[in-house]
Amino acid sequence: MPPRPAKSKTLAARKTPPQAVRAPILLVGETLAGYAKRGVFRGFSEGAVRGGKATFRIVWHRERVFEVTVDAKKRELRFPEVLTGVAAGSTMYRELRQFVSERQSDELPAHRRIDSRRARIRVSNRGGNVAIALSGLDDDYAYLVRKLVHLVHEIFMVFLIEGSYLEYMVEAFDLDPDRM
């Protein structure tokens, strides 16, 4: 009988030790809770944790409830629904993608820039819902949380306000244009 081949190291490498999954999720939760304690968010709650993935909910811009997901195995943090009602082929979506891409420009000061050597940004649109994700190239989850929160904040405070999106904000957030 021929000898059995040795087990593949890649199979063993695919198993993620539970602590390697729990620690990033705890760190992300603690960092988001810290924002809530400082008053950046008006609400914070933790959701389910399953298979290296966790969900958190925050109350933030325009009193909206945002979901933040973390996938520790992929080293990814994601806002699955940053903006709603944005057509994938629209000028607004194209300009948003450009705006987000510019957050990795060396022309931005370091404190506002997302270092492309540390994280990748992904913008997607499914059914008019714009999602923003940051994937880490290292295990610095505090950096990912901080940069993702700042990016979403800039979308609301710079992209929407300084762009020509008053009509979008009135419709999407049910705002009174006379009080803006």
Strand order, beta sheet including 53-59: 43-50, 53-59, 65-71, 76-83, 129-136, 119-126
Domain assignment of residue 163, yes or no: yes
Q: Taking a C-beta distance cutoff of 8 angstroms, is the pair 99, 146 a contact?
A: no
Rounded CA separation 23/13 (Å): 18
Domain assignment of residue 129, yes or no: yes
- Residue 179 has φ and ψ, to the nearest 5°, of -110, 10
Domain assignment of residue 180, yes or no: no
The per-residue pLDDT for range 44-93, each reduced to its tens digit, is 999 989 989 999 999 999 889 999 999 999 999 999 999 999 999 999 99
Domain assignment of residue 14, yes or no: yes
Domain assignment of residue 145, yes or no: yes
With the C-alpha atoms ordered 159, 162, 168, 169, is the resulting torsion angle positive or negative?
positive
- The first and second tokens of residue 137, run together, are 């190239």
* Residue corresponding to tokens 């993608």: 97
- Which pLDDT score is estimated for 8? 41
Residue 72 backbone class (left: φ over 0; alpha: ψ -120 to 50; beta: rest): alpha
Length of the chain: 180
* DSSP secondary structure string for all residues of 63-121: G-EEEEEEETTTTEEEEEEEE-S--TTSHHHHHHHHHHHHTT-TTS-TTT---TTTEEE
Q: Please give the share of the chain, as a percent, with pLDDT higher than 70.
A: 89
- The first and second tokens of residue 35, run together, are 């924002």
The per-residue pLDDT for range 8-43, each reduced to its tens digit, is 444 344 455 577 778 899 999 999 999 999 999 999
- pLDDT tier for residue 180 given thresholds of 50, 70 and 90: low
Relative orientation angle of helices 18-37 and 141-154, to the nearest 10 degrees: 40
Q: What is the CATH number of the domain that holds 83?
A: 3.30.1460
Domain assignment of residue 3, yes or no: no
Q: Number of folded domains in the chain?
A: 1
**CA 32 from centre of chain:** 12
- Which pLDDT score is estimated for 14? 45
User: Which residue range(s) make up the domain with 25?
Assistant: 9-173
Domain assignment of residue 178, yes or no: no
- Which pLDDT score is estimated for 12? 41
Domain assignment of residue 71, yes or no: yes
Rounded CA separation 35/44 (Å): 9
- The first and second tokens of residue 133, run together, are 């994700």
Can you give the pTM of this predicted structure? 0.85
Rounded CA separation 82/76 (Å): 16
